């Protein structure tokens, strides 16, 4: 169980901790002026429409709504206007204003955690962030895919560049962190119908705990940084620390054997 959990986390860092090798939908040759234009327009609520306009304006391909800047629409997690009849809606969620609505098909997230890093604190205006990991195919936007806004925190750009933060462009509710392979949803948007449903999203640990605004003595593991790649600290249960020590030892032995 522990190693599965660690693998999930290694594969899916949070938005604040993604590597800087993220790919971009925008060719490197695109000029700074164009980028400014896109950013200006995208901060204006209608990402889909304005980026279409911008892409058309640049390559002279008038009427092309399938340009590079629009490709996000056809990929998970968005797949705009694609109707999957087999999608089983297990949960319903909406932003504060209700413009953005989505459904989830998976009963339980792949993992769920609290992050206390300062980026999460600032971007959420909250003492810490609660995020649940899903596959991009697990979500279906039923409303408001034209009301989405993006923010990529390393370049501070609002074009759709992964990994990025996704929010409602109207009420600004944070919706999820979109990674290259996974999404980290903010479960506070889900309209849970029962306590049992909410329990399915129970976080397994705290990350970046030294940055905390308040102590949370809930007996869950507390990582000093990214889960599985940092130290277990504070009131982490002894069994978790022991397991981590054993895993570290195992890893060291294996490396020794492999002659590293
Ligand atoms: Zn909204
Ligand atoms: Zn964080």
pLDDT digits (tens, 9 = 90+) for 87-132: 889 999 999 999 999 999 999 999 999 999 999 999 999 999 999 9
> 131-153: buried (b, 16+ CB within 10 Å) or exposed (e) per residue?
bbbbebebbbbeebbbbbbbbbb
- List pLDDT tens digits, range 196-209: 999 999 999 999 99
For the chain, percent of residues with pLDDT exceeding 90: 52
Look at residue 25 and tell me if it is in a domain.
Answer: no
Question: What is the per-residue pLDDT for 236?
Answer: 78
Residue in the structure block whose two tokens are 């999404």: 183
Q: List all residues 6 or more positions away from 36 whose beta carbon is below 8 Å from its beta carbon.
A: none
Average model confidence (pLDDT) across the chain: 77
> 21-46: buried (b, 16+ CB within 10 Å) or exposed (e) per residue?
eeeebbeeebeeebbebbeebbeebb
Q: Which of 86, 20, 88, 72 is nearest to 183 (CA)?
A: 72
CA of 242 to the centre of ligand 1 (A): 44
Look at residue 48 and tell me if it is in a domain.
Answer: yes
Give the whole-angstrom CA distance, residue 28 versus residue 20.
15
pTM score above 0.85: no
- What is the extent of the structural domain holding 44? 2-14+31-80+88-257
CA of 260 to the centre of ligand 2 (A): 33
Lowest mean pLDDT among 28-37, 60-69, 223-232, 239-248: 28-37
Look at residue 36 and tell me if it is in a domain.
Answer: yes
| Number of domains the chain contains | 1
Is it the case that residue 66 has pLDDT exceeding 50?
A: yes
Strand boundaries in the chain, DSSP class E: 91-94, 101-104, 111-115, 129-135, 139-143, 148-151, 164-168, 174-178, 182-185, 205-207
CA of 165 to the centre of ligand 1 (A): 14
Look at residue 201 and tell me if it is in a domain.
Answer: yes
Look at residue 23 and tell me if it is in a domain.
Answer: no
Is it the case that residue 243 has pLDDT exceeding 90?
A: no
CA of 61 to the centre of ligand 1 (A): 32
Is it the case that residue 35 has pLDDT exceeding 60?
A: no
Residues, CB within 5 angstroms of ligand 1 (ion): 95, 97, 99, 168, 170-171
Give the whole-angstrom CA distance, residue 202 versus residue 186.
12
The CATH number linked to 39 is 2.170.150.70
CA of 142 to the centre of ligand 1 (A): 13
CA of 2 to the centre of ligand 2 (A): 21
Give the whole-angstrom CA distance, residue 156 versus residue 104.
29
Give the whole-angstrom CA distance, residue 75 versus residue 3.
30
Give the whole-angstrom CA distance, residue 150 versus residue 3.
33
Most confident segment among 141-145, 182-186, 249-253: 182-186
CA of 64 to the centre of ligand 1 (A): 28
Ligand lying closest to the C-alpha of residue 96: 1
Look at residue 183 and tell me if it is in a domain.
Answer: yes
Is it the case that residue 36 has pLDDT exceeding 80?
A: no
Lowest mean pLDDT among 46-55, 143-152, 167-176, 206-215: 46-55
The three-class DSSP label of residue 179 is: coil
Q: Which of 191, 188, 223, 190 is nearest to 204 (CA)?
A: 223
* Beta strands across the sheet bearing 111-115: 148-151, 164-168, 174-178, 182-185, 129-135, 111-115, 205-207
Is it the case that residue 142 has pLDDT exceeding 60?
A: yes
Look at residue 162 and tell me if it is in a domain.
Answer: yes
Look at residue 189 and tell me if it is in a domain.
Answer: yes
């Amino acid at each position: 169980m522990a190693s599965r959990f660690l693998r999930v986390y290694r594969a899916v860092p949070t938005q604040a901790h993604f590597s800087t090798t993220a790919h971009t939908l925008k060719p490197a040759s695109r000029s700074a002026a164009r980028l400014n234009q896109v950013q200006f327009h995208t901060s204006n609520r209608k990402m889909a429409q304005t980026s279409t306009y911008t892409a058309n304006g640049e390559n002279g391909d008038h009427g092309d709504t399938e340009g590079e800047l629009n490709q996000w629409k056809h990929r998970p997690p968005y797949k705009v206007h694609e109707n999957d009849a087999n999608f089983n809606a297990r949960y319903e969620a909406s932003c504060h204003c209700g413009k953005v609505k989505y459904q989830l098909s998976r009963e339980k997230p792949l993992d769920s955690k609290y992050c206390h890093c300062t980026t999460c604190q600032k971007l959420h205006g909250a003492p810490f962030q609660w995020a649940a990991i899903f596959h991009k195919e697990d979500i279906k936007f039923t409303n408001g895919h034209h009301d989405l806004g993006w923010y990529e925190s390393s370049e501070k750009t609002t074009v759709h560049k992964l990994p990025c933060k996704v929010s409602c462009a109207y009420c600004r509710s944070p919706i999820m962190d979109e990674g290259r392979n996974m999404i980290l949803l903010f479960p506070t948007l889900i309209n849970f119908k029962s306590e049992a449903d909410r329990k399915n999203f129970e976080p397994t640990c705290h990350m970046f705990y030294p940055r905390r605004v308040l102590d949370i003595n809930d007996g869950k593991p507390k990582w000093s940084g990214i889960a599985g790649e940092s130290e277990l600290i504070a009131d982490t249960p002894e069994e978790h620390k022991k397991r981590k020590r054993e895993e570290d030892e195992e890893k060291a032995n294996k490396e020794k054997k492999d002659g590293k």
